[in-house]
Amino acid sequence: MKKGILIAIEGIDGAGKSVIAQELLRALKEMGYDPVLFKEPSESFYGQKVRNSKKRLPPEKELELFLLDREIDVKERILPALERGKIVVMDRYYYSNIAYQSASGIEAEKIRKLNEEIAPKPDLVILLDLSPEIALKRIESRGKTTVFEDKDYLEKVRENFLRIADEKTVIVNAEKPLSEVKEEVVKAVKKLLDSYNSCRS
């Protein structure tokens, strides 16, 4: 492939994004590709400020940190990988910003515009959808909670994810068994790759 492909795995906390991202990476390698996986927020100074925050920051400040982190991630990791023709799998991307920060009161289109000024649009967005109740049970079982995990807030975030889903988005029921979720995700990615390869041939 002469040009890379960008795939974003999105969903509320507890949806299984990291597990599915790893499963997709493995499946792509089995298909003969050489994909890369990046997670956001990254390990940049700004990403760590978000990760290590013990309480919710003001929405505008939170968005500012995410944008600064993403700007670095795009410049240092995402664009170079795409330019090398890699399939880039993102464990969270700017759709999370839109869904989460708009649930805190910032206008969704403003967040999208600010992100798309600095970040390439994904070729495919996999939205892992599930109820906040099930998501929170999963989070509690692994003993890792963050400042973003509140049932009412996650309900708003879920609604926002579904609202901003566009023609690039494939919605997958993440309440199904992992094997079925993985199968659906890989099927959606194969469809994208097939269309991409047929355009290139």
Q: Supply φ then ψ for residue 126, to 5 degrees.
A: -95, 115
Q: Is the pLDDT of residue 148 over 70?
A: no
Q: Which pLDDT belongs to residue 90?
A: 98
Can you give the pLDDT at residue 200? 65
pLDDT at 46 over 90: yes
pLDDT over 90 (residue 57)? no
pTM above 0.85, yes or no: yes
pLDDT over 90 percentage in the chain:
81
Q: What is the mean pLDDT of residues 38-52?
A: 93
Per the structure, how many domains does the chain have? 1
Among the listed residues 91, 95, 57, the one whose alpha carbon sits nearest the alpha carbon of residue 77: 91
User: Range of 12's domain?
Assistant: 5-200
Identity of the amino acid at 51? R
d(CA 17, CA 89): 11
The answer to which of 47-61, 115-129, 145-159 has the lowest mean pLDDT is: 145-159
Q: What percent of the chain is predicted at pLDDT more than 70?
A: 95
Q: Give the whole-angstrom CA distance, residue 67 versus residue 60.
A: 11
pLDDT digits (tens, 9 = 90+) for 76-106: 999 999 999 999 999 999 999 999 999 999 9
Short-list 129, 115, 124, 108, CA closest to 167 = 124
Asked whether 42 and 159 are in contact (CB, 8 A), the reply is: no
Mean of per-residue pLDDT scores for the chain: 92
Q: How confident is the model at residue 195 (pLDDT cuts 50, 70, 90)?
A: confident
CATH label of the domain that carries residue 194: 3.40.50.300
